[in-house]
Amino acid sequence: MPLLVMKFGGTSVADLERIRNAADKVRREVERGYDVIVIVSAMSGKTNELVGWVEETSPMFDAREYDAVVSSGENITAGLMSLTLQEMDIPARSWQGWQVPLKTTSVHSAARIEEIPRDNIDAKFAEGMRVAVVAGFQGISPEGRITTLGRGGSDTTAVAFAAAFDAERCDIYTDVDGVYTTDPRISAKARKLDKIALEEMLELASLGAKVLQTRSVELAMRYNVRLRVLSSFEENNENSGTLVCAEEEIMEQNIVSGVAHSRDEAKMTLTSVADRPGIAAAIFGPLAEAGVNVDMIIQNISEDGRTDMTFSCPTNQVERAKAAMQKVKDDGVINYAGLVADTDVAKVSVVGIGMRSHTGVASQMFQALSAEGINIKVISTSEIKISVLVDRKYMELAVQALHDEFGLEKAG
Protein backbone atom coordinates (compact mmCIF):
# COMPACT_ATOMS: atom_id res chain seq x y z
CA MET A 1 0.00 0.00 0.00
CA PRO A 2 1.14 3.61 -0.50
CA LEU A 3 2.43 5.20 2.67
CA LEU A 4 1.83 8.68 4.06
CA VAL A 5 3.53 10.43 6.98
CA MET A 6 1.36 12.82 8.98
CA LYS A 7 2.81 15.05 11.70
CA PHE A 8 0.70 16.84 14.32
CA GLY A 9 2.23 19.67 16.36
CA GLY A 10 1.49 20.55 19.96
CA THR A 11 -1.47 22.84 19.31
CA SER A 12 -3.01 20.13 17.08
CA VAL A 13 -3.01 17.62 19.98
CA ALA A 14 -3.45 20.06 22.87
CA ASP A 15 -6.34 18.15 24.46
CA LEU A 16 -8.45 15.03 23.93
CA GLU A 17 -10.88 16.81 21.62
CA ARG A 18 -8.06 17.94 19.35
CA ILE A 19 -6.50 14.48 19.43
CA ARG A 20 -9.85 13.09 18.24
CA ASN A 21 -9.92 15.71 15.49
CA ALA A 22 -6.40 14.73 14.38
CA ALA A 23 -7.30 11.03 14.54
CA ASP A 24 -10.27 11.69 12.28
CA LYS A 25 -7.91 13.16 9.66
CA VAL A 26 -5.77 10.03 9.93
CA ARG A 27 -8.88 7.84 9.55
CA ARG A 28 -9.75 9.56 6.26
CA GLU A 29 -6.31 8.83 4.83
CA VAL A 30 -6.59 5.16 5.88
CA GLU A 31 -9.97 5.00 4.11
CA ARG A 32 -8.26 6.39 0.99
CA GLY A 33 -5.98 3.34 1.02
CA TYR A 34 -2.87 4.61 2.79
CA ASP A 35 -0.81 3.00 5.48
CA VAL A 36 0.08 5.90 7.76
CA ILE A 37 2.95 6.80 10.05
CA VAL A 38 1.78 9.52 12.43
CA ILE A 39 4.40 11.63 14.22
CA VAL A 40 3.11 13.47 17.28
CA SER A 41 4.47 16.27 19.44
CA ALA A 42 3.75 16.68 23.14
CA MET A 43 0.46 18.34 24.02
CA SER A 44 0.76 22.13 23.86
CA GLY A 45 2.70 23.51 26.85
CA LYS A 46 3.70 20.08 28.18
CA THR A 47 7.35 20.25 27.08
CA ASN A 48 7.83 23.65 28.75
CA GLU A 49 6.28 22.25 31.91
CA LEU A 50 8.62 19.24 31.89
CA VAL A 51 11.67 21.43 31.25
CA GLY A 52 10.61 23.63 34.17
CA TRP A 53 10.36 20.63 36.48
CA VAL A 54 13.85 19.47 35.51
CA GLU A 55 15.39 22.90 36.05
CA GLU A 56 13.64 23.31 39.39
CA THR A 57 14.78 19.87 40.56
CA SER A 58 18.37 20.12 39.35
CA PRO A 59 19.72 23.44 37.99
CA MET A 60 22.94 21.66 36.91
CA PHE A 61 21.01 18.71 35.49
CA ASP A 62 22.34 15.51 33.95
CA ALA A 63 21.53 15.84 30.22
CA ARG A 64 20.68 12.12 30.01
CA GLU A 65 18.00 12.45 32.66
CA TYR A 66 16.79 15.70 31.09
CA ASP A 67 16.08 13.77 27.88
CA ALA A 68 14.38 10.95 29.79
CA VAL A 69 11.97 13.42 31.40
CA VAL A 70 11.37 15.85 28.51
CA SER A 71 10.73 13.09 25.95
CA SER A 72 7.84 11.71 28.01
CA GLY A 73 5.38 14.31 26.69
CA GLU A 74 5.43 12.78 23.20
CA ASN A 75 4.96 9.28 24.68
CA ILE A 76 1.68 10.35 26.29
CA THR A 77 0.37 11.84 23.05
CA ALA A 78 1.35 8.76 21.03
CA GLY A 79 -0.51 6.45 23.42
CA LEU A 80 -3.63 8.63 23.47
CA MET A 81 -3.64 8.94 19.67
CA SER A 82 -3.34 5.16 19.28
CA LEU A 83 -6.19 4.53 21.74
CA THR A 84 -8.35 7.06 19.89
CA LEU A 85 -7.70 5.38 16.54
CA GLN A 86 -8.44 1.96 18.04
CA GLU A 87 -11.79 3.30 19.22
CA MET A 88 -12.43 4.13 15.54
CA ASP A 89 -11.72 0.46 14.68
CA ILE A 90 -8.42 1.35 13.00
CA PRO A 91 -5.52 -1.02 13.77
CA ALA A 92 -3.02 1.36 15.35
CA ARG A 93 -0.04 0.97 17.64
CA SER A 94 2.14 3.54 19.44
CA TRP A 95 5.91 3.53 19.10
CA GLN A 96 8.50 5.25 21.26
CA GLY A 97 11.81 6.20 19.69
CA TRP A 98 13.73 3.28 21.17
CA GLN A 99 11.12 0.78 19.91
CA VAL A 100 11.49 1.77 16.25
CA PRO A 101 14.50 2.16 16.87
CA LEU A 102 15.30 5.71 15.74
CA LYS A 103 19.08 5.71 16.09
CA THR A 104 20.78 9.00 16.94
CA THR A 105 24.11 10.43 18.03
CA SER A 106 24.90 10.71 21.75
CA VAL A 107 24.53 14.51 21.97
CA HIS A 108 21.72 14.77 24.49
CA SER A 109 19.05 17.46 23.91
CA ALA A 110 20.52 18.13 20.44
CA ALA A 111 20.96 14.66 18.94
CA ARG A 112 21.05 14.08 15.19
CA ILE A 113 19.34 11.18 13.45
CA GLU A 114 21.71 8.54 12.07
CA GLU A 115 19.41 5.72 10.96
CA ILE A 116 15.78 4.55 11.02
CA PRO A 117 15.63 0.79 10.35
CA ARG A 118 12.32 -0.19 8.75
CA ASP A 119 12.10 -3.81 9.89
CA ASN A 120 10.01 -3.50 13.05
CA ILE A 121 7.36 -1.16 11.66
CA ASP A 122 7.23 -2.93 8.27
CA ALA A 123 6.63 -6.24 10.05
CA LYS A 124 3.64 -4.79 11.91
CA PHE A 125 2.21 -3.30 8.71
CA ALA A 126 2.51 -6.77 7.16
CA GLU A 127 0.53 -8.18 10.10
CA GLY A 128 -2.34 -5.74 9.49
CA MET A 129 -1.42 -2.61 11.41
CA ARG A 130 -2.62 0.42 9.42
CA VAL A 131 -1.26 3.26 11.56
CA ALA A 132 2.03 3.52 13.43
CA VAL A 133 1.88 6.43 15.88
CA VAL A 134 5.45 7.45 16.64
CA ALA A 135 6.54 9.77 19.44
CA GLY A 136 8.40 12.62 17.73
CA PHE A 137 11.46 14.48 18.96
CA GLN A 138 13.17 11.42 20.44
CA GLY A 139 15.49 8.53 19.65
CA ILE A 140 18.07 6.24 21.19
CA SER A 141 21.83 6.71 21.45
CA PRO A 142 24.48 4.05 20.74
CA GLU A 143 24.73 3.65 24.53
CA GLY A 144 21.04 2.77 24.74
CA ARG A 145 19.92 6.04 26.34
CA ILE A 146 16.89 8.11 25.31
CA THR A 147 17.91 11.20 23.33
CA THR A 148 15.99 14.25 22.13
CA LEU A 149 16.52 16.18 18.90
CA GLY A 150 16.12 19.75 20.13
CA ARG A 151 13.16 22.10 19.80
CA GLY A 152 11.17 21.51 16.63
CA GLY A 153 12.53 17.99 16.50
CA SER A 154 9.16 16.44 15.68
CA ASP A 155 9.22 18.10 12.24
CA THR A 156 12.66 16.56 11.69
CA THR A 157 11.38 13.17 12.88
CA ALA A 158 8.51 13.31 10.40
CA VAL A 159 10.72 14.13 7.41
CA ALA A 160 13.25 11.46 8.41
CA PHE A 161 10.49 8.81 8.52
CA ALA A 162 9.16 9.98 5.14
CA ALA A 163 12.64 9.54 3.67
CA ALA A 164 13.29 6.19 5.35
CA PHE A 165 9.94 4.69 4.31
CA ASP A 166 9.77 6.25 0.82
CA ALA A 167 6.52 7.99 1.73
CA GLU A 168 4.42 9.54 -1.01
CA ARG A 169 4.35 12.75 1.01
CA CYS A 170 4.88 14.17 4.48
CA ASP A 171 1.94 16.24 5.72
CA ILE A 172 2.73 18.73 8.50
CA TYR A 173 -0.44 19.70 10.39
CA THR A 174 -0.19 22.90 12.37
CA ASP A 175 -2.23 25.93 13.45
CA VAL A 176 -1.82 27.76 10.12
CA ASP A 177 -3.28 26.71 6.78
CA GLY A 178 -0.09 26.96 4.76
CA VAL A 179 2.97 29.04 3.94
CA TYR A 180 2.27 32.72 3.28
CA THR A 181 4.14 35.34 1.28
CA THR A 182 4.80 37.07 4.59
CA ASP A 183 3.45 37.12 8.14
CA PRO A 184 -0.32 37.80 7.86
CA ARG A 185 -0.16 39.56 11.22
CA ILE A 186 2.03 42.24 9.61
CA SER A 187 0.52 42.51 6.14
CA ALA A 188 -3.17 42.05 5.47
CA LYS A 189 -2.21 41.44 1.84
CA ALA A 190 -0.23 38.28 2.67
CA ARG A 191 -1.23 35.45 0.32
CA LYS A 192 -1.12 31.71 0.91
CA LEU A 193 1.18 29.97 -1.55
CA ASP A 194 -0.06 26.85 -3.32
CA LYS A 195 3.53 25.68 -3.88
CA ILE A 196 6.98 26.76 -2.77
CA ALA A 197 10.38 25.31 -3.64
CA LEU A 198 12.28 23.46 -0.91
CA GLU A 199 15.23 25.83 -1.35
CA GLU A 200 13.00 28.87 -0.83
CA MET A 201 11.39 27.27 2.23
CA LEU A 202 14.81 26.59 3.72
CA GLU A 203 15.79 30.23 3.32
CA LEU A 204 12.50 31.46 4.79
CA ALA A 205 12.77 29.06 7.75
CA SER A 206 16.34 30.15 8.49
CA LEU A 207 15.36 33.82 8.20
CA GLY A 208 12.59 33.76 10.78
CA ALA A 209 9.53 32.06 9.25
CA LYS A 210 8.14 29.80 11.98
CA VAL A 211 6.05 27.40 9.87
CA LEU A 212 8.70 24.67 9.47
CA GLN A 213 11.82 23.89 11.47
CA THR A 214 15.04 24.53 9.52
CA ARG A 215 16.56 21.08 10.07
CA SER A 216 13.44 19.39 8.74
CA VAL A 217 13.60 21.38 5.49
CA GLU A 218 17.32 20.61 5.12
CA LEU A 219 16.50 16.92 5.45
CA ALA A 220 13.64 17.19 2.95
CA MET A 221 16.00 18.82 0.43
CA ARG A 222 18.62 16.12 0.90
CA TYR A 223 16.18 13.26 0.32
CA ASN A 224 13.72 15.09 -1.95
CA VAL A 225 10.78 14.60 0.40
CA ARG A 226 7.60 16.37 -0.68
CA LEU A 227 6.08 18.29 2.24
CA ARG A 228 2.61 19.73 2.64
CA VAL A 229 1.73 22.29 5.32
CA LEU A 230 -1.92 22.10 6.42
CA SER A 231 -4.22 23.39 9.13
CA SER A 232 -5.37 20.93 11.78
CA PHE A 233 -8.49 23.00 12.34
CA GLU A 234 -9.96 23.17 8.82
CA GLU A 235 -11.49 20.72 6.40
CA ASN A 236 -8.82 19.78 3.87
CA ASN A 237 -8.70 18.26 0.40
CA GLU A 238 -5.89 17.43 -2.05
CA ASN A 239 -5.55 21.12 -2.94
CA SER A 240 -5.39 22.42 0.63
CA GLY A 241 -2.33 23.88 2.29
CA THR A 242 1.03 24.59 0.69
CA LEU A 243 3.09 21.98 -1.11
CA VAL A 244 6.83 22.31 -0.45
CA CYS A 245 8.51 20.52 -3.31
CA ALA A 246 11.34 20.43 -5.82
CA GLU A 247 11.79 23.50 -7.99
CA GLU A 248 10.94 21.43 -11.10
CA GLU A 249 7.34 20.96 -9.88
CA ILE A 250 6.66 24.70 -9.99
CA MET A 251 5.71 25.98 -13.43
CA GLU A 252 5.60 29.76 -12.93
CA GLN A 253 5.82 32.08 -9.98
CA ASN A 254 6.87 35.54 -8.90
CA ILE A 255 10.54 36.51 -8.94
CA VAL A 256 10.26 36.99 -5.18
CA SER A 257 8.19 34.39 -3.32
CA GLY A 258 8.22 35.76 0.20
CA VAL A 259 9.35 38.39 2.68
CA ALA A 260 10.72 37.14 6.02
CA HIS A 261 11.66 39.01 9.15
CA SER A 262 13.45 38.44 12.43
CA ARG A 263 13.13 40.82 15.36
CA ASP A 264 15.78 39.28 17.57
CA GLU A 265 18.89 40.48 15.75
CA ALA A 266 21.90 42.43 16.96
CA LYS A 267 24.59 44.30 15.03
CA MET A 268 28.06 44.13 16.55
CA THR A 269 31.11 46.09 15.41
CA LEU A 270 34.74 45.60 16.39
CA THR A 271 36.43 48.95 15.83
CA SER A 272 40.02 49.55 14.77
CA VAL A 273 41.08 45.97 14.17
CA ALA A 274 44.41 45.18 12.51
CA ASP A 275 43.85 44.59 8.78
CA ARG A 276 46.10 41.58 8.19
CA PRO A 277 45.85 38.02 6.84
CA GLY A 278 44.12 35.71 9.30
CA ILE A 279 42.27 38.41 11.22
CA ALA A 280 38.85 37.13 10.14
CA ALA A 281 39.71 33.62 11.32
CA ALA A 282 40.99 35.03 14.61
CA ILE A 283 37.63 36.73 15.17
CA PHE A 284 35.08 34.28 13.83
CA GLY A 285 36.79 31.08 14.96
CA PRO A 286 36.38 31.93 18.68
CA LEU A 287 32.83 33.16 18.03
CA ALA A 288 31.95 29.77 16.48
CA GLU A 289 33.58 27.92 19.39
CA ALA A 290 31.47 30.02 21.78
CA GLY A 291 28.28 28.97 19.95
CA VAL A 292 27.59 32.40 18.43
CA ASN A 293 25.56 32.12 15.23
CA VAL A 294 27.07 34.83 13.01
CA ASP A 295 25.08 35.83 9.94
CA MET A 296 25.96 39.03 8.07
CA ILE A 297 29.58 40.17 7.92
CA ILE A 298 30.96 43.48 6.65
CA GLN A 299 34.55 44.75 6.72
CA ASN A 300 35.16 48.46 6.18
CA ILE A 301 37.88 49.89 3.95
CA SER A 302 41.25 49.76 5.67
CA GLU A 303 42.87 53.00 6.81
CA ASP A 304 46.44 53.04 8.15
CA GLY A 305 46.33 49.28 8.53
CA ARG A 306 43.22 49.32 10.76
CA THR A 307 39.62 48.42 9.89
CA ASP A 308 36.19 47.91 11.45
CA MET A 309 34.53 44.48 11.36
CA THR A 310 30.73 44.31 11.64
CA PHE A 311 28.62 41.17 12.04
CA SER A 312 25.11 40.24 13.12
CA CYS A 313 23.97 37.57 15.57
CA PRO A 314 20.85 36.74 17.63
CA THR A 315 20.29 39.13 20.52
CA ASN A 316 20.43 36.31 23.07
CA GLN A 317 24.03 35.60 21.99
CA VAL A 318 25.39 39.13 22.39
CA GLU A 319 26.88 38.56 25.86
CA ARG A 320 28.47 35.31 24.67
CA ALA A 321 30.01 37.17 21.72
CA LYS A 322 31.33 39.93 24.00
CA ALA A 323 32.93 37.37 26.31
CA ALA A 324 34.56 35.53 23.40
CA MET A 325 36.00 38.74 21.96
CA GLN A 326 37.24 39.94 25.34
CA LYS A 327 39.04 36.63 25.85
CA VAL A 328 40.91 36.76 22.53
CA LYS A 329 41.85 40.37 23.29
CA ASP A 330 43.09 39.46 26.77
CA ASP A 331 45.05 36.55 25.30
CA GLY A 332 46.74 38.90 22.83
CA VAL A 333 45.33 37.13 19.78
CA ILE A 334 43.73 40.31 18.41
CA ASN A 335 43.55 43.94 19.47
CA TYR A 336 40.68 46.33 18.88
CA ALA A 337 39.59 49.72 20.17
CA GLY A 338 36.02 48.80 21.13
CA LEU A 339 33.07 46.47 20.64
CA VAL A 340 29.79 48.26 19.88
CA ALA A 341 26.53 46.28 20.14
CA ASP A 342 23.28 47.57 18.63
CA THR A 343 20.42 45.37 19.83
CA ASP A 344 17.66 47.55 18.40
CA VAL A 345 17.73 46.21 14.84
CA ALA A 346 15.72 43.70 12.82
CA LYS A 347 16.48 41.61 9.75
CA VAL A 348 14.17 41.80 6.72
CA SER A 349 14.72 39.49 3.74
CA VAL A 350 13.26 38.82 0.31
CA VAL A 351 13.50 35.25 -1.03
CA GLY A 352 12.81 33.76 -4.44
CA ILE A 353 14.30 31.22 -6.85
CA GLY A 354 13.30 33.61 -9.65
CA MET A 355 16.12 35.91 -8.51
CA ARG A 356 18.61 33.55 -10.16
CA SER A 357 17.49 34.58 -13.63
CA HIS A 358 16.37 38.18 -13.04
CA THR A 359 18.52 41.24 -12.43
CA GLY A 360 17.63 44.39 -10.57
CA VAL A 361 15.94 42.80 -7.54
CA ALA A 362 18.42 44.38 -5.10
CA SER A 363 18.01 47.80 -6.69
CA GLN A 364 14.22 47.49 -6.54
CA MET A 365 14.38 46.42 -2.89
CA PHE A 366 16.68 49.26 -1.87
CA GLN A 367 14.60 51.88 -3.71
CA ALA A 368 11.41 50.65 -1.99
CA LEU A 369 13.03 50.99 1.43
CA SER A 370 14.48 54.39 0.55
CA ALA A 371 11.04 55.65 -0.49
CA GLU A 372 9.82 54.88 3.03
CA GLY A 373 12.79 56.64 4.63
CA ILE A 374 14.25 53.38 5.95
CA ASN A 375 18.03 53.32 6.33
CA ILE A 376 19.88 50.07 5.61
CA LYS A 377 22.61 49.21 8.12
CA VAL A 378 23.94 45.92 6.75
CA ILE A 379 23.32 43.95 3.52
CA SER A 380 23.79 40.24 2.87
CA THR A 381 22.99 38.31 -0.31
CA SER A 382 22.88 34.78 -1.67
CA GLU A 383 21.71 33.36 -4.97
CA ILE A 384 18.02 33.47 -3.96
CA LYS A 385 17.99 35.86 -0.99
CA ILE A 386 18.72 39.47 -0.06
CA SER A 387 18.73 40.41 3.63
CA VAL A 388 19.11 43.80 5.28
CA LEU A 389 19.37 45.03 8.83
CA VAL A 390 17.18 48.04 9.66
CA ASP A 391 16.12 49.83 12.82
CA ARG A 392 13.63 47.59 14.58
CA LYS A 393 10.97 50.30 14.70
CA TYR A 394 10.84 50.19 10.87
CA MET A 395 10.60 46.40 10.57
CA GLU A 396 6.86 46.13 9.92
CA LEU A 397 6.91 49.10 7.53
CA ALA A 398 9.78 47.48 5.63
CA VAL A 399 7.94 44.16 5.33
CA GLN A 400 4.78 45.87 4.06
CA ALA A 401 6.69 48.06 1.60
CA LEU A 402 8.58 45.11 0.11
CA HIS A 403 5.47 42.93 -0.07
CA ASP A 404 3.77 45.71 -2.06
CA GLU A 405 6.83 46.47 -4.18
CA PHE A 406 7.13 42.91 -5.47
CA GLY A 407 3.36 42.44 -5.90
CA LEU A 408 3.23 39.36 -3.70
CA GLU A 409 -0.51 39.64 -3.17
CA LYS A 410 -0.87 38.46 -6.78
CA ALA A 411 -0.25 34.90 -7.92
CA GLY A 412 2.65 34.39 -10.31
Q: Which residues are annotated as a binding site?
A: 7-10, 47, 74, 174-175, 180, 185, 210-211
Q: From the annotation, which residues make up the binding site for substrate? A: 47, 74
Nearest Cα to Cα of residue 97 among 26, 25, 20, 40: 40
What is residue 128's three-state secondary structure?
coil
Indicate the Cα dihedral angle 52, 53, 54, 60, nearest 10°. Answer: 70
Nearest Cα to Cα of residue 139 among 167, 165, 161, 166: 161
Q: From the annotation, which residues make up the binding site for ATP? A: 7-10, 174-175, 180, 185, 210-211
CA distances from 86 to 1, 43, 151, 252 (A): 20, 20, 30, 44
DSSP tag of 11: G
DSSP tag of 290: T
Pairing of strands 138-140, 146-148: antiparallel
Residue 66: CB atoms within 10 A of its CB come to 19
DSSP tag of 410: S
Residues 6+ apart with CB under 8 A from 386: 349, 350, 355, 361, 362, 365, 379, 380
H helices present in 151-225, as ranges: 153-164, 198-206, 214-223
Q: In what order do the strands lie in the sheet with 113-115?
A: 113-115, 103-104, 138-140, 146-148
Let me know if 203 is exposed, middle or buried by CB neighbors in 10 A (0-12, 13-18, 19+): buried
Buried b (16+ CB within 10 A) or exposed e, 128-149: ebbbbbbbbbbbbbeeebbbbb
Q: How far apart are CA 352 and CA 316, in angstroms?
A: 29
